[in-house]
Structure 1
Amino acid sequence: MYTCSIERMKDKIETFSKYGDAGHGGITRYSLSEDALKARKEFEKRMTAIGAIIEVDDVANIYATLPGSDPDAKRIVMGSHCDSVKNGGNYDGILGVISAMEVLETVHEHNIPHKHPLTAMIWTNEEGSLYPPAMMCSGIVCYDYLPEDIRSKFCYDDMMVSKSVLDGTKTFGEALEKSGYKGEKKYRLSPDNYECMFETHIEQGPILEDAGNSVGIVDCVLGMFNYRIRFFGQTTHAGTFPMPKRRDALLAASQALVYLHEEIDKLGYSDLVYTTGEIVCHPCVHTCVPDYVDVSFDARHEDPKVLAKVMEILKSCTTKTWAGCSCEIEKAWNRDTVYWDKELVGYVKEAAEEIGVSHQYIHSGAGHDAQFCAYMLPTTMIFVQSKEGLSHCEDEYSTPEDCTNGASVMLHAVLKKDKQ
């Protein structure tokens, strides 16, 4: 039985980690940056070496395709992204690219028969770290198939003027033109020329490691909502205004957040996750009582009924007075749970069983390009164990063995689909 090469896997991980090396174990590799372009060149070089045909679409997504025996068969695509967050790790995103490369290299090395063309790809600007929003180019490519509330955020023209968060002047469209990777729209992933998509990714959590399993059979991306919670008080002098008369918006926010945690935890759902991760405080001066605080609130769960219960608790914050301050909430965005194609999920599970890789079913709490692709094509994901569950940081790590297991599982799942 064919398996992917751990030595090739190690080599690719080591090589790609040089592009954007931040000097202390991880990378900063913004989309279309000089380092990201080097990673793309490496991808092209290695794929061309095995006879893959390179195509680039109009938003710089790259496709490397090994022809199949049936010239009329649609392609089976595998891939992820090569950009990172600031001071990110060497596995998030790029492992999915490396794994797709490894599948094609293994098929080429062993001359494995296959009917469908097999494609490895790089999605552009998944992280949105330099040019918001996240999953920009999968949103553009899958635009016509996305739900209306999502589609409205990914208009091509709007994305071209997305400004760099570093200097606020250079736009994504300008970076795209300068990159040399603005290809043709006709090469975009679409149901006309693609059969389905697979994406391998690190788990980014501790569930697989805690269970002692190498690979996750992902069945869905969790539904979620993201809100802003705002508190309105009054600015006064920190040294002269009596405590009983203050309307401290930061104190109000702290009381409300404790309330939210206590009430949501009472619901008793161990698989429910929620986060208040961003805060804006005004005037943010040590001698001033804050008059305005804005915090983010992010909740995720598979069941919309559970999220509805969380929403009721969130809404109840607006009916209370917190430290003399009023409160309002506003929706930033939300998504329903996205379920992967059952047939493809079944192939992934069969593949893991047949090659003897320890595995389990698992949900994805994070969003991925595959999530948008699933509205357009049959799609699924494979997770690889993350050491201590760490991700979006320089300590992010997955063993070469687990990475190779993930690629091997994808290889055999793809071959199963190819024979179908």
Structure 2
Amino acid sequence: MYRCDMKSMEDKIKTFSKFGDAGHGGITRYALSEEDKMARAEWLRRMEAIGATIEMDDLANMYATLPGSEPGLKRIVMGSHCDSVKNGGNYDGILGVMSAMEVLETVVRENIPHRHPLTAMIFTNEEGSEFPPCMMCSGTMAHDYMPERFRDNFEYSKMMASKSILTPDVTFGERLAAFPYKGDKANRMSPEKYMALFETHIEQGPILEDAGKDIGVVTCVLGQMLYRVKFYGFAAHAGTFPMKKRHDAFHAAAEALCYLHEEIDKLGYEDLVYTTGEVVIHPCVNTVIPDFFDFSIDVRHENPEVLNKVREILFSLEKREWQKCKCEVVLGWNRDTVYWDKKLVGYVREAVEELGISHMDINSGAGHDAQYISYMIPTTMIFAPSDKGLSHCEVEHTSVEQCTNAATVMLNAVLKADKDQ
């Protein structure tokens, strides 16, 4: 069994944390930003230093490849993203990039034999923090292979026309055209050139830490559905209109949300999660009774039957009035549970067991580039623990030892795939 180098991983973590340093221990590094350029330049410098062949595609995804001993075999690719959310941490996404770099560096340093070309990569715009949607470029690459109901979300023309949240008159396509790491479409990942994808990531939750485990053998990304729940009342003066006569949309939404929590919790599924994270209120004036209120509800679970039970509860809201207001439930989007390739999951499990690192099977409640790539080629993931389960914030942290363990597991799992396929 081979092991990655802890000092090398520590150096990477310290170095990449400088690109977009937000001044509070974390980073803000939007896709295609100046900070993104700096991170990619460092990645490029390190990959060229070990003699890897560098390619960029038309979406600015970047690939560094070491040739294998048997010409004509497909590549095994490892990677993740280096963009972040606003005031994010130093591990989300970039750990997968650093782990892939560490694998290639270890292969060169230890002169490890391998049959297949081994590729480390960076996906562009996973977070969608400035240019939505999230997982934009992995979804665009996998467009022709994913279920037809998802394809419209990742039409190339739509991606290019996506407007910046920060500077609305700038599109993703315009920013991409000026980005120094934009390359050719022919360099995109494809089933013709690639055999498998491994993505290492922080868990972004507390399950591994609570269980005292150092590695998560990821089996799937949970199914997810997003609905908008809308309430329609009428506006009136806050000081003069009697309480009994009001059709207060905000009050209606509050009442319905409490009802949802009560009814969904009655289902009794401890691994079912749901969140109201976004609201819209009109007219949003302190002296006016709201005539409209809209909240999101994001629901995630592995079993589609459980999601359907929640869906029934959601649509039951339409069957009655809430504070004399009409309710409408509208689907935003949904995805099926995405299961990782069983053979690749097996390689990860074998590797972590042989290395003697504590581990457990786990699913992912968060979305990742790997979930869209899985429609195109066999895919799997490896999780490292997140301190206190915190992510998408500046205190996000995973120890250097745990980061190195995750890279080591990926290295040995990749070598098993290289040998067996």
TM-score by length of 1: 0.99
Shift, 1:68, TM fit: 0.8
Q: Does 1:128 align with 2:128?
A: yes
Shift, 1:181, TM fit: 1.7
The range that moved more, 259-268 or 158-167, is 158-167
CA distance in 2, matches of 1:78, 1:21: 25
- Number of the residue aligned with 1:68: 68
CA distance in 1, matches of 2:148, 2:86: 31
CA distance in 2, matches of 1:264, 1:158: 36
- Number of the residue aligned with 1:352: 352
CA distance in 1, matches of 2:396, 2:354: 29
CA distance in 1, matches of 2:19, 2:283: 40
3-state SS in 1 of match to 2:154:
coil
CA distance in 1, matches of 2:53, 2:190: 17
- Number of the residue aligned with 2:407: 407
- Number of the residue aligned with 1:416: 416
- Number of the residue aligned with 2:278: 278
- Number of the residue aligned with 2:202: 202
Q: Does 1:180 align with 2:180?
A: yes
- Number of the residue aligned with 1:145: 145
Question: Which one-letter code corresponds to 1:283 in the other structure?
Answer: P
Shift, 1:140, TM fit: 1.0
- Number of the residue aligned with 2:161: 161
Shift, 1:157, TM fit: 1.3
CA distance in 2, matches of 1:385, 1:49: 30
CA distance in 2, matches of 1:89, 1:324: 45
- Number of the residue aligned with 2:220: 220
Question: Any idea what the Cα deviations from partners look like across 1:170-225, whole Å, max 9, x if unmatched?
Answer: 11111111112220111100010101000000000000000000110000000111
CA distance in 2, matches of 1:319, 1:392: 37
- Number of the residue aligned with 1:326: 326
CA distance in 1, matches of 2:71, 2:396: 41
CA distance in 2, matches of 1:339, 1:229: 29
Question: Which one-letter code corresponds to 1:284 in the other structure?
Answer: C
Question: Any idea what the Cα deviations from partners look like across 1:10-48, whole Å, max 9, x if unmatched?
Answer: 100110010000111111100000000110000010011
- Number of the residue aligned with 2:13: 13
Shift, 1:161, TM fit: 1.1
Report the number of matched residues: 420
CA distance in 2, matches of 1:237, 1:384: 54
Instruction: Give 5+ residue unaligned stretches, structure 2.
Output: none
Question: Any idea what the Cα deviations from partners look like across 1:79-136, whole Å, max 9, x if unmatched?
Answer: 0000001111111000000000000011111000000010000000000111111111
- Number of the residue aligned with 1:27: 27
Shift, 1:236, TM fit: 1.0
CA distance in 1, matches of 2:419, 2:121: 22
3-state SS in 1 of match to 2:398:
coil
Shift, 1:149, TM fit: 1.4
- Number of the residue aligned with 1:257: 257
Question: Which one-letter code corresponds to 2:266 in the other structure?
Answer: K
Amino-acid identity (%): 66
Question: Any idea what the Cα deviations from partners look like across 1:45-102, whole Å, max 9, x if unmatched?
Answer: 0011011010000110000001110111110000000000111111100000000000
Question: Which one-letter code corresponds to 1:34 in the other structure?
Answer: E
The range that moved more, 89-98 or 149-158, is 149-158
Query: What is the Cα-based RMSD across aligned positions, in Å?
Result: 0.6
The range that moved more, 177-186 or 363-372, is 177-186
CA distance in 2, matches of 1:33, 1:334: 30
- Number of the residue aligned with 1:49: 49
- Number of the residue aligned with 1:84: 84
3-state SS in 1 of match to 2:197:
strand
TM-score by length of 2: 0.99
Shift, 1:295, TM fit: 0.3
Instruction: Give 5+ residue unaligned stretches, structure 1.
Output: none
Q: Does 1:232 align with 2:232?
A: yes
CA distance in 1, matches of 2:154, 2:319: 35
- Number of the residue aligned with 2:363: 363
Question: Which one-letter code corresponds to 2:409 in the other structure?
Answer: V
3-state SS in 2 of match to 1:84:
coil
Structure 1 stretches of at least 4 aligned residues deviating more than 4 Å after TM superposition: none
Shift, 1:271, TM fit: 0.5
Question: Which one-letter code corresponds to 1:410 in the other structure?
Answer: M
CA distance in 2, matches of 1:174, 1:126: 18
